[in-house]
Amino acid sequence: MDEALLRTLTPKVLGILCRRGADFAAAEDAVQDALVEALRVWPSAPPRDPRAWLVTAAWRKFLDATRAETSRRRREDLADAEPEPGPASTVDDTLRLYFLCAHPSLTPSSAVALTLRAVGGLTTRQIAQAYLVPEATMAQRISRAKRTVSGARFDQPGDVATVLRVLYLVFNEGYSGEVDLSAEAIRLTRQLAAVIDHPEVAGLLALMLLHHARRVARTAPDGSLVPLAEQDRGRWDTRLIGEGIGILQAALARDRLGEFQAQAAIAALHADAPTAEETDWPQIVEWYDELTGLTGSPVVRLNRAVAVGEAEGAAAGLVALAELDPSLPRHTAVAAYLHERNGDLAKAAELYAEAARQAPNLPERDHLVKQAARLNSR
């Protein structure tokens, strides 16, 4: 039983049903029913053409459900609309599905859940587990999302930027259940890159690959954070780094810069440095300047202050930092680091402790507490 194959086929089958005129929510239910049947039937009777099998099964489920709910006339209209068997343009269908699942009328968490279920083919239980919420909660979240987009026209061209944001949200969730959401986000972004030619899709894919390549080195065996400068670069996945850089270079060559390409360029400069000392900080600062121009994001300017601190010295970094709102997330942690580099260790210890109190997650909090303790126990 090839579960990965089923997950790859899910969005294609769903797309075909929707193009044949099925309402999204009903089509999604029908595809889920067909998947359940496939899991039951395939082990003893593997189909010759899994995709055709699923399309047929899902379409039958859809018709059954429709028959139960609507008039005979409606059913016949739909049956008439069924196209002749033959090659179908699944490329466009899959793309539309991405757009629909990231519809702007959905909240970010609903868009994420719907994308993982409808495009990713994950079960509700797997998604619930990955996000540490009860299955009933996730089921409701998904069915609300389906109702929300049910009214949306399936042929409406969507917004690539929204799709990319949703995929990046999935990627950043990492993993907590049986599903590695970062790997899943990469799979979905690869699939998206295969059906749409867009430099920012390539930029996001490159960014994910470059981050993912360094993931195992980011945490020690006990789960604690390892800062970039202290990571064992021998554990970075050079194959993924090479792939990410290749994709990024092809995207940059098209001269349509976007925020994901710029972020990937920064990640590439880190990944390319043989040692932390050899990092090309001046060029990283330049990319942060580009990124600031593209997004105007205060978080980007905060990261830029760190890069300036490395490129031109901690004092320059503190000057860059002084222009920013102190209530920004991680502002205190950055201030602590720059003060330490600048030789003001007492101030740095105080700021590390304060940053630990503001930290958004356990590994970061523990890391910052240890930094404060390290300076206080000198």
Query: Residue 232: how many CB atoms within 10 A of its CB?
Result: 10
Residue 173 interacts with another protein (CB under 8 A)? yes
The two three-digit tokens of residue 368, written as one number = 């910052």
Note whether 359 binds another protein by CB under 8 A: yes
- Helix residue spans in 122-180 (DSSP H): 124-130, 135-150, 160-172
Q: Tell which phi-psi region holds residue 126, choosing left (phi > 0), alpha (psi between -120 and 50) or beta.
A: alpha
Nearer to another protein, 97 or 284 (CB): 284
> Phi and psi dihedrals of 180, rounded to 5?
-85, 105
Which residues are CB-neighbours of 197 under 8 A, at least 6 positions away?
none
Whole-number minimum distance, CB 137 to another protein, in Å? 5
Which of 131, 236, 287, 352: binder of another protein (CB under 8 A)?
Answer: 131
Choose between 44 and 361: whose C-beta lies nearer to another protein.
361
Q: If binding is defined by CB under 8 A, does position 276 make contact with another protein? A: no
Q: Which is nearer to another protein, 38 or 368 (CB)?
A: 368
**Does 305 interact with another protein (rule: CB under 8 A)?**
no
Closer Cβ to another protein, 169 or 345, answer by number: 169
Closest distance between another protein and the C-beta of residue 151, in Å?
18
Q: Torsion-angle region of residue 89: left (phi > 0), alpha (psi -120 to 50) or beta? A: beta
Among 327, 361, 377, 378, binds another protein (CB under 8 A): 361
* Sole binder of another protein in the list 5, 88, 133, 316 (CB under 8 A): 133
By CB under 8 A, the residues from 176 to 235 that bind another protein are 176, 182, 211-212, 215, 218-219, 225, 228
Residues whose CB falls within 8 Å of the CB of residue 357, separated by 6 or more in sequence, listed in order? none
Residues in contact with another protein, total (CB under 8 A)? 40
Residue 184: enclosing H or E segment and its boundaries?
Answer: helix 181-195
The whole-angstrom separation of Cα 309 and Cα 145 is 44
Interface of this chain with another protein, residues 85 to 124, rule: CB under 8 A: 107-110, 112-113
- The count of other CB atoms within 10 Å of the CB of residue 134 is 10
How far out from the chain centre does Cα 111 lie? 11
- Sole binder of another protein in the list 43, 85, 87, 360 (CB under 8 A): 360
The answer to whether the beta carbons of residues 34 and 57 sit under 8 Å apart is yes
Closest separation in Å from C-beta 111 to another protein: 10
Least Cβ distance, residue 108 to another protein (angstroms): 6
Please write down the long-range contacts of 30-38, taking CB distance under 8 Å and 24 or more positions apart: 30/58, 30/59, 30/61, 30/62, 30/65, 31/58, 31/61, 31/118, 33/57, 33/58, 33/61, 34/58, 34/61, 35/6, 35/10, 35/121, 37/61, 38/6
Query: Between 12 and 212, whose beta carbon lies closer to another protein?
Result: 212
* Identity of the residue, 215 or 347, whose beta carbon is nearer to another protein in the bound complex: 215
Figure out which of the listed residues 95, 142, 240, 262 binds another protein, where binding follows CB under 8 A: 142
The smaller minimum CB distance to another protein, of residues 46 and 227, is found at 227
Residue whose C-alpha is closest to residue 167's, from 135, 143, 125, 196: 196
Residue placing its CB nearer to another protein in the complex, 63 or 169: 169
141 touches another protein by CB under 8 A: yes
What angle (nearest 5°) sits at the alpha carbon of residue 99, between those of residues 97 and 102?
A: 105
27 versus 106: smaller Cβ distance to another protein? 106
25 binds another protein (CB under 8 A): no
Contacting residue, 70, 105, 172, 376, with another protein by CB under 8 A: 172
Residues forming contacts to another protein in the complex (CB under 8 A) are 107-110, 112-113, 131-134, 136-138, 140-142, 144, 169, 171-176, 182, 211-212, 215, 218-219, 225, 228, 270, 359-365
